[in-house]
Amino acid sequence: MAFESPNITAIAVEATEFPDLARRYRVSAVPKTVVNGEGEILGALPPDAFIQQVIDLTRATPEQPERQP
Amino acid sequence: MGLISAPDQQRLRDAFAEMTRSVRLVFFTQTLGCDTCAEAKRILDELPPLSDRITIEEVNFVLDADKVKQYGIDRVPSIALVGHDESGDHESRIRFAGAPSGYEFSALIHAVLLVGGRPSSLSAAQRQQLASLERPVVLQVFSTPT
C-alpha cells in the first residue's frame, strides 16, 4: 500500500524486539496495525476491508507531526 | 555457513532475476547497545550475492543524523527500501524495524520484489480506493518472527 500511495509510510515492526512499542500500543496479538499512532486494526483483513479501515482511521486520527507538509 | 539453504537461495535468485529496478536496502545500525543489529546484518548480507540488483547501504544510526532524519528512523536495526532506475532513486516509504528473521524475512523479500518492479497485488479498484487517502498516514504493522 505504501508502494501505491505516496501518502502512506509502512513500517513492519518486530514486536518482540521492541517491547517499548509493543507496550505503548498494547500489542497482545499479531498482526496488529497501528494507524498514525492511534487507530488500531487487529488481525489480517482482506485487502478491501483493510484499505477502508486505514482510510476511516486516518480521518479519525491526528496527523503525524513529522510528516506534516 | 549461510542462513539460507541452497534450494531457497536458488528460489530467491530466480525471483530476483525478474526485477526491473535496483533496490537499495538502507540499513541503520549501531555498534553498541543493539542486540539484534548483528543478526540483521547477517541476514541482509545474504541477499546481494543472489542478485546484482540488490545492494546494502549501511548507515550508522549514531553518527549519520542526516540520513536518520531523512528516512525518519527512530530505532535500530531498521531498514528502508529505496528503488533505483534510470530516472533516479524512488523512496518506497517501506520500512522494517527489527531483524528481518522468520516471518519478517518473507515480508522483506516480498517488499524487495515489489520495489524491484513486480506488479502489486492490488486491483485497480483498490488503488482507486487508496487514492482517496488525502493526508499522510503511518502504518506500524506489528508481527513476531513465528
Cβ within 8 Å of A, B 103-142: 104, 107-108, 111, 114-115, 120-123, 126-127, 129-142
pLDDT attached to residue A69: 33
From B141's Cα to the closest Cα of chain A, the distance in A is: 4
So what's the ipTM on this one?
0.92
Q: Where are the alpha helices (DSSP H) in B6-92?
A: 6-16, 37-44, 65-70
Residue A4, in any domain of the structure: no
Digitized pLDDT (tens) for each residue of chain B, 146 residues in all: 578 999 999 999 999 999 999 999 999 999 999 999 999 999 999 999 999 999 999 999 999 999 999 999 999 999 999 999 999 999 999 999 999 998 899 999 999 999 999 999 999 999 999 998 989 999 999 998 77
pLDDT of residue A16: 94
Using pLDDT thresholds of 50, 70 and 90, give the confidence band for residue A67: very low
Residue A25 carries which side chain, given as an amino acid letter?
Answer: Y
Contact call for residues B85 and B21 (beta carbons, < 8 A)? yes
Q: How many domains does one find in chain A? A: 1
Residues of chain B with C-beta less than 8 angstroms from the C-beta of A47: 121-123, 126
Which residues in chain A are closer than 8 Å to B122, comparing Cβ atoms? 1, 4, 47
Residue A19: predicted pLDDT: 94
Pick A63 or A33 by higher pLDDT: A33
- Asked whether the beta carbons of B104 and B36 are under 8 A apart, the reply is no
Query: What is the C-alpha to C-alpha distance for residues B73 and B97, in angstroms, rounded to an integer?
Result: 9
**Cell for A34?**
497501528
For the four alpha carbons of B101, B4, B117 and A49, in that order, the dihedral sign comes to: negative
Which residue in this structure is represented by grid cell 548507515? B59
Distance of alpha carbon B88 from its chain centroid, rounded?
18
Its pTM stands at 0.93
User: Class of B6-131 per CATH?
Assistant: alpha beta
Reported as a single tens digit per residue, the pLDDT across A9-60 is: 999 999 999 999 999 999 999 999 999 999 999 999 999 999 999 999 998 8
Residues B126 and A47 sit within 8 Å (Cβ to Cβ): yes
**pLDDT the model gives residue B1:** 53
Residue A68: its pLDDT value, please? Answer: 37
Distance between CA atoms of residues A38 and B139, nearest Å = 10
Is A62 contained in some domain? yes
